[in-house]
Amino acid sequence: MGHAIQLFAGPDLLVMSQVRAQFIEREGVEPGASYQLFSDTIETLKHLVEKGINNFVLTHRNTSTYKIMKATGMEAYILDTITIDDGFRRKPDPEAFLYLMNKHDLSQKTTLNVGDRLFDIQAGRGAGLLGCLIKDAYNKSYLDEADYIVSSRRGVLDLIEM
């Protein structure tokens, strides 16, 4: 939602703030609070946790991420989350990936980075991780950048069975 507000408001921060305030007034929620997950997200996360696999969220979004995760039930399947408000450099810089790997003693050999944008794959690669790109209509131009490509979140389950 932040991108949409920025698109409509342009570079003027005052206008952007006004557009955001109007959204909150009209919708009664912060931008992103009514966010819908992809239909297979919770099912996939649940299966991964059942297999003993830890899930992490590393996002360029702010702390509204926590509200979204709680509202959708996603938080039950996530071990740790990093948002832009945590102060790490933005992807494709691998700083936040390296922090999570160190904090949770994650190995490059057993950790898979899953994302849907080029900077997700680049950040993971910078941390020495293999990357799995979830293909969509917007990321077809950089499919060759990923080590693995799946067409849905559920496709990740097939990869871990390999």
CA 114 to chain centre: 8
Bridge partners of 130, per DSSP, are 112
Architecture of domain 41-160: 3-Layer(aba) Sandwich (3.40)
Q: In what order do the strands lie in the sheet with 130-134?
A: 112-115, 130-134, 148-150
- Residue identified by tokens 């102060």 is 87
State pLDDT tens for residues 66-78: 988 998 899 999 9
Tell me if the pTM is above 0.75. yes
In this structure, are residues 100 and 82 in contact, taking their beta carbons and an 8 Å threshold?
A: yes
- Classify each residue of 7-35 as buried b or exposed e, where b means 16 or more C-beta atoms within 10 Å of its C-beta: eebeeeeeebeebbeebeeeeeebbeeeb
What's the rounded mean pLDDT across residues 113-138?
93
State pLDDT tens for residues 53-67: 999 999 988 888 898
Please, what sign has the CA dihedral across residues 18, 22, 24, 25?
Answer: positive
d(CA 96, CA 88): 6
Phi/psi of residue 58, nearest 5 degrees:
-130, 105
The answer to whether residue 81 scores a pLDDT higher than 60 is: yes
